[in-house]
Structures are given as C-alpha cells and as structure tokens.
C-alpha cells in the first residue's frame, strides 16, 4: 500500500510538550524510530487491501525554522523533505496548513496513485481535505495530540491513539505494558473506550510477550481449574452482594489481590476483558461501554439497565445522568459519577502534594488508589482528566492543585469541548455540569 506522510511539526511538538517535554523531545530528535513503527507495526486503516503492507513513499515535515531549526538534522537523517513554514504574523501564525493541503491535493492526483495519506496534526482545518480524500476512495490515518474535534475524528479511517503512539512508537512504556509487572487496567480492550477516546489501545509488544512465559498461578491443570473455579465464584459473589452493577476495575483489583500471580498476563489472555470472556459466567453480563466496564446479573432485578446496557447508579444525582451521557458522547469526558469525580480530584490533589507530577506515574498511582477505594475509573479515565488539565495550561506543583481548582478547570475544559462541537449549554446544562464535577453544591432536597 503506497502511503504519504505529512507532519505538522509545530502542532504535534507543542501538543506533546504540554504533556511531557521528554516525550516531545524524543519525537523531535528520533523521528526514524517512530517512522519505523508507522511502517512496520501500525495497523492499516479500514478497507485496506487484504494482505497489504505499508510503503511510505513520501515523508514531509512542515516546520517553523525560526523556532525549531535545531531539529532539522534529525528529520533529514530520517529521510524527510523539510518544508520551511516561518511565522507570517506577530502572533506566530505560519502557513503550514495551506502548504500541507496543497501538497496533499497535488499528490491525490499524482500518477503513482497513493493509497493512504497519513496526517500528523490536530488542526481541524484539515477536516475538509480528509473528506475529499474519502470521496476519492483513499485511506486516511491521523495522529492528533490533544482533543481533536468530532468531525475531524470521524473524517479519518484510522485514528492513532496518542497513548499507543507514546508507548509503542516513542518507547515510553511502563509496568502496565509488560507482563508480570502488576495488574493491568480492566479496560484495555479497544471496545471499552468512549467514542472520543476510541482508537486502538496498545498491548505489550509481541517481543516482550514472547520473552515471558504464560503465567501459571498453580502447578498442574487440575490446580489451575480449581483456581479458575474459585475466581468465578468470587466474581459471582461480588455481583450478588452489590445492589448495583459492579465496576470491572473493582473485580480486577479483588481478583489480583487474592491471586497475585494471575496479574502477570491474565492466564495468557493478556487483558482482564479477554480473561473474563474465556470464563463461563452466565447469567452474568458485561457492559464495556462506560468507564472501564461493569458486570451485572440481568435476572436479579434489571435495575440499572437501559437498552441492554448498564445505566450507572448516581443516587441523588441520577437526574443529571442523561445530560452527562450526552456530554460524554460529545466530548469524550469519562462517564464517572459525581462522587467518583470528587474522589478523583481529591486523590490527584493529594498525590501531587506528595510526589512530583509525572503524567505516567501520577496516572498510575491515582488509578490504583481509585481501585483500592472500590471506585470506578480506569487508567484511561484518569489520563483523560490529567491530559485535559495539561492541555488547558495547568501547571502541577505550583500551588494551584487544590481539588476544587482541578474540578473547575476540568468543567471548563468540558464546556469548551461541548461548545466546539456546537452543543448548546443552557442554564440547566451549566448547572448539571457544575453538579457533575463538584463545582457547585447540589440543590437542597425537600425535607433535608
């Protein structure tokens, strides 16, 4: 499959730098590494010819030489054509977008007939050209750092998950990516992600997986069967004890506490979801659509069910759930309840007060503390909140990390994303958002 790569360097570099300067520096100084990942490991977009392999025939990097000249040698060595796009205004605006669009349209009509156009940018200005490429029956693959618009995401055939790019293409792995290094998140399967977060969630590299033998937490097949039977009974008992659907993160934490060796690679399945899919758990059912997934028994009462999926139980805040679900679909914000958000912001504030902030390590510790408290919230949910704060310019460790401040900034981020997607926020919606994220006291109920 003949592919052409277009990199809006300023856009990607600045987005990565907001998350972590070290990540941005590796992107800028070692482009050959992530180019090789794009060629050899990145999956092909939908509707690619069967058995096709990616051939990266064009590599173009659009760069402001006034600000980023120091990175030019790295991209030269990686085989890129470098197109200088200096600032044209006092605000630093460059002509990168128009240069890229013209070059893409030019190659669209090239006699080589390129099959795939890969765009590294979160700039919504590229939405029309992605749609044009689709009309011309060409595949499109996009890497967008930050929170790209819904229209931009929907216009691409393949959206590269930024977390996957950071872990696998840039090599910033952690324990959760390696077998035997602790319990992986309960929701590592792609189907469990929200619409805005969906793409492809990275598993450990095939080489790492091959280097570690499959986990066996008992010796012999009979002992293994006994352990699995015990795990099934543990899951059934936990669901039976709960009046509401049980978060899968709570089940994963409970199981790995009782069977620590199982956390190595979930009995050879690689993820909690694949592990439970291999068990006979009827009549229990799993819903992976919301914040890490839930498990429930539909035969008990049917409570918390809507159209065959789990409806979270938000107690006294249940009235704001329908609007919250709509905002979740529009903005991608995790569908956690108000009580879970209050706990989440408090845990983040406490953690950054005890430890220097690091996107990877902070996210991991916060996720673990949510699990220990029996609350919903996956690693992806935590990272969404942390990335949103960073992208809005929040600087951790500078005395502005109170839970109330984090809640307010997150609510403002969600408002901005909703308005960008042309969702009208009236007074009722504003009040619901304030209650959801704990920036406004819940209304007093009669008799209280």
Q: What's residue 228's pLDDT?
A: 84
Give a yes or no: residue 184 inside a domain: no
* β-strand partners of 140: 117
Angle, alpha carbons 83-88-89 (nearest 5°): 150
Give a yes or no: residue 72 inside a domain: yes
Burial grade of 389 (CB within 10 A; 0-12, 13-18, 19 or more): buried
Give a yes or no: residue 240 inside a domain: no
Cis peptide preceding 283, ω within 30 of 0 = yes
The closest alpha carbon to 196, from 146, 139, 265, belongs to 146
**Count of domains for the chain:** 2
Chain segment 2-47, per-residue pLDDT in tens: 999 999 999 999 999 999 999 999 999 999 999 999 999 999 988 8
Confidence of residue 129 (pLDDT cuts 50, 70, 90): very high
Give a yes or no: residue 247 inside a domain: no
Residues 198-227 have a mean pLDDT of 40
Q: How far apart are CA 133 and CA 140, in angstroms?
A: 7
Q: How far apart are CA 331 and CA 436, in angstroms?
A: 14
Q: What's residue 298's pLDDT?
A: 77
Residues 412-436 have a mean pLDDT of 92
H or E segment and range at residue 285: strand 285-287
Give a yes or no: residue 39 inside a domain: yes
Give a yes or no: residue 295 inside a domain: no
Q: Is the pLDDT at 414 greater than 60, yes or no?
A: yes
Q: Is the pLDDT at 243 greater than 80, yes or no?
A: no
Give a yes or no: residue 200 inside a domain: no
Confidence of residue 310 (pLDDT cuts 50, 70, 90): low
The closest alpha carbon to 287, from 276, 277, 295, belongs to 295
Q: What's residue 11's pLDDT?
A: 92
Q: Is the pLDDT at 258 greater than 60, yes or no?
A: yes
Within 44-138, strands assigned E span: 55-63, 81-84, 116-120
Q: What's residue 409's pLDDT?
A: 95
pTM: 0.68
Take residue 139 and report the two structure tokens written for it: 């595949």
Q: How far apart are CA 78 and CA 216, in angstroms?
A: 43
Q: Could you tell me the residue range of the domain that residue 331 belongs to?
A: 315-437
For the chain, helix, strand, coil in percent to 5 are 50, 10, 40
Q: Is the pLDDT at 205 greater than 60, yes or no?
A: no
- Between 304 and 193, the higher pLDDT residue: 304
End-of-domain residue from the set 127, 154, 172: 172
Residues 171-197 have a mean pLDDT of 46
Kindly state the greatest CA–CA separation across the chain: 76
Confidence of residue 206 (pLDDT cuts 50, 70, 90): very low
Residues 279-308 have a mean pLDDT of 68
Helix (H, G, I), strand (E, B) or coil at 359: helix
Q: Is the pLDDT at 49 greater than 90, yes or no?
A: no
The closest alpha carbon to 437, from 289, 329, 337, belongs to 337
* β-strand partners of 2: 55
End-of-domain residue from the set 123, 143, 172: 172
End-of-domain residue from the set 172, 195, 229: 172
* β-strand partners of 204: none
Mean pLDDT of the chain: 81
Take residue 329 and report the two structure tokens written for it: 């679909």
Q: How far apart are CA 200 and CA 160, in angstroms?
A: 7
Q: Is the pLDDT at 446 greater than 80, yes or no?
A: no
Residues whose CB is less than 8 angstroms from the CB of residue 99 and which lie 6 or more positions away in sequence, other chains included: 62, 83, 85
Confidence of residue 403 (pLDDT cuts 50, 70, 90): very high
Residues whose CB is less than 8 angstroms from the CB of residue 306 and which lie 6 or more positions away in sequence, other chains included: none
Chain segment 92-125, per-residue pLDDT in tens: 678 888 999 999 999 999 999 999 999 999 888 8
Residues whose CB is less than 8 angstroms from the CB of residue 2 and which lie 6 or more positions away in sequence, other chains included: 55, 57, 112, 113, 114, 115, 116
User: Residue 113: how many CB atoms within 10 A of its CB?
Assistant: 11
Domain of 24: which CATH number? Answer: 3.40.50.1010
Chain segment 188-203, per-residue pLDDT in tens: 333 333 333 333 333 3
φ, ψ for residue 322 (rounded to 5)?
-55, -45
Chain segment 267-280, per-residue pLDDT in tens: 877 777 888 888 88
Give a yes or no: residue 122 inside a domain: yes
Q: Is the pLDDT at 64 greater than 50, yes or no?
A: yes
Q: How far apart are CA 337 and CA 316, in angstroms?
A: 11
Q: Is the pLDDT at 329 greater than 90, yes or no?
A: no
Residues 247-264 have a mean pLDDT of 75
Residues 214-226 have a mean pLDDT of 43
Q: What's residue 309's pLDDT?
A: 57
Report in angstroms the alpha-carbon separations of 342 from 146, 276, 376, 405, 412: 24, 30, 12, 12, 16
Q: How far apart are CA 63 and CA 222, in angstroms?
A: 61
Q: Is the pLDDT at 72 greater than 60, yes or no?
A: yes
Confidence of residue 178 (pLDDT cuts 50, 70, 90): very low
């Amino acid at each position: 499959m003949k592919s052409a790569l277009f990199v809006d360097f300023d856009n990607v570099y600045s987005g990565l730098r907001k998350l972590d300067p070290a990540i941005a520096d590796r992107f800028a100084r070692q482009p050959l590494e992530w180019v090789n990942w794009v060629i050899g490991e990145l999956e092909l977009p939908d509707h690619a010819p069967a058995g096709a392999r990616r051939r990266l025939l064009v590599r173009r990097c659009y760069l402001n030489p006034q600000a980023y000249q120091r990175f030019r040698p790295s991209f030269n060595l990686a085989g890129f054509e470098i197109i200088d796009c200096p600032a044209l205004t006092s605000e630093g605006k460059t002509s990168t977008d128009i240069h890229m669009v013209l070059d893409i349209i030019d190659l669209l009509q090239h006699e080589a007939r390129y099959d795939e156009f890969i765009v590294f940018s979160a700039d919504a200005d590229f939405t029309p050209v992605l749609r044009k490429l689709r009309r011309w029956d060409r595949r499109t693959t996009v890497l967008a750092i930050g929170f790209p618009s819904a229209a931009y995401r929907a216009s691409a055939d393949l959206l590269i998950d930024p977390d996957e790019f950071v872990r696998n293409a840039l090599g910033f792995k952690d324990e959760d990516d390696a077998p035997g290094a602790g319990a992986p998140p309960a929701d590592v399967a792609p189907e469990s992600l929200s619409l805005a977060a969906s793409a492809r969630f990275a598993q450990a590299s095939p080489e790492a997986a091959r280097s570690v033998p499959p986990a066996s937490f008992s010796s012999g097949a009979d002992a293994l069967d006994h352990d699995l039977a015990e795990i099934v009974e543990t899951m059934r008992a936990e669901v039976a004890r709960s009046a509401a659907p049980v978060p899968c993160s709570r089940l994963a934490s409970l199981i790995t506490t009782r069977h620590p060796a199982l956390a190595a690679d979930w009995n050879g399945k690689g993820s909690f979801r694949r592990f439970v899919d291999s068990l006979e758990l009827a009549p229990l059912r799993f819903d992976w659509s919301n914040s890490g997934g839930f498990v429930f028994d539909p035969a008990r009462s049917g409570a918390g069910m809507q159209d065959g999926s789990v409806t979270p139980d938000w107690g006294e805040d249940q009235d704001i759930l329908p609007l919250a679900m709509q905002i979740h679909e529009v903005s991608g914000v995790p569908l956690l309840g108000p009580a879970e958000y209050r706990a989440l912001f408090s845990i983040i504030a406490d953690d950054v007060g005890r430890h220097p902030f690091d996107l990877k390590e902070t996210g991991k510790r916060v996720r673990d503390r949510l699990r220990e408290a029996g609350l919903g919230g996956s690693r992806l949910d935590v990272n969404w909140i942390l990335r949103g704060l960073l992208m809005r310019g929040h600087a951790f460790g500078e005395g502005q990390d109170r839970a109330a401040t984090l809640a307010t900034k997150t609510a403002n981020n969600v408002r901005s994303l909703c308005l960008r997607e042309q969702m009208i926020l009236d007074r009722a919606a504003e009040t619901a958002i304030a209650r959801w994220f704990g920036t406004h006291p819940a209304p007093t109920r009669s008799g209280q």
